[in-house]
Amino acid sequence: MSLKIAFAASRAPLAQTARAALVTRYGDVSFDEADVIVALGGDGFMLQTLHGSQHFSAPVYGMNRGTIGFLMNEYSESDLEARLEAAEEALLNPLSMTVKDTRGQAHKALAINEVSLLRAGPQAAKLRITIDGRLRMEELVCDGALVATPAGSTAYNYSAHGPVLPIGSDVLALTAVAAFRPRRWRGALLPKTAHVQFDVLEVEKRPVMAEADSRSIRDVVSVEIQSEPTVVHRILFDPGHGLEERLISEQFN
């Protein structure tokens, strides 16, 4: 019996052309009918597809029609069903972000890669860091800070000189972005169960924005971050090219 495949593509012409060719060859169903969802685009579109399909049972298999494609497999129109049958599955829990802004409003979002706080003005941000209810840093002066999952540890976290985390390590990376004080602080490794709170100091003078996988909230007063075990994303990779292998390889390139 053939797999029921739902195809999703970014707006890029390359991705749209690929979707048309694949639909002609393999057919197309809706997300709720699918045995597997095939996402065509880059890593940003893959994150968008994972968020958009989290209430459906089908896993997501990405094929790169974008730029980086760290979360994607190589593109090919042939033997797709065989590749899907042989694919290896990785299970990812996102981060939950709860933001309080200067108007007293609360905003919630999920992040598969990372939650980041970034200065939104000309002056450096000042952040207070509390972990599991215990004050750990009275004042971090920086361009920003982030909490990354293992899946997201090679993205913005790695660019900010944070550590690469193996899949299944049950660890989160807390990484500073251009820390000024403490100047030599490089961040921390936290258990996956940790509850992280950032409080923004001098809010009016040093405005901060928060992002969860590119969803932005401005005029931040505080941000609470923790892993969300009730949400599980299923992502498929070709054998020998899964997330664990990619995370290891990234450290030797």
Active site residues: 43
As a whole number of angstroms, the distance between CA 241 and CA 150 comes to 16
Phi/psi of residue 72, nearest 5 degrees: -110, 160
Reported as type and span, the H/E element at residue 221 is strand 220-227
As a whole number of angstroms, the distance between CA 138 and CA 67 comes to 40
Phi/psi of residue 185, nearest 5 degrees: -75, 125
Surface-to-core class of residue 31, CB atoms within 10 Å of its CB (0-12 exposed, 13-18 middle, 19+ buried): middle
Closest alpha carbon to 62 in 5, 1, 4, 2: 5
- Which DSSP string do the residues of 35-104 spell out, in sequence order? SEEEEEE-HHHHHHHHHHTTTSS--EEEEE-SS--TT-BPP-STTHHHHHHH-EEEEEPPEEEEEEETTS
What is the token pair recorded at 219? 């005029």
With DSSP H G I counted as helix, E B as strand and the rest as coil, what are the percentages for the chain, rounded to 5? 20, 40, 40
Question: How do beta strands 125-131 and 134-142 pair?
Answer: antiparallel
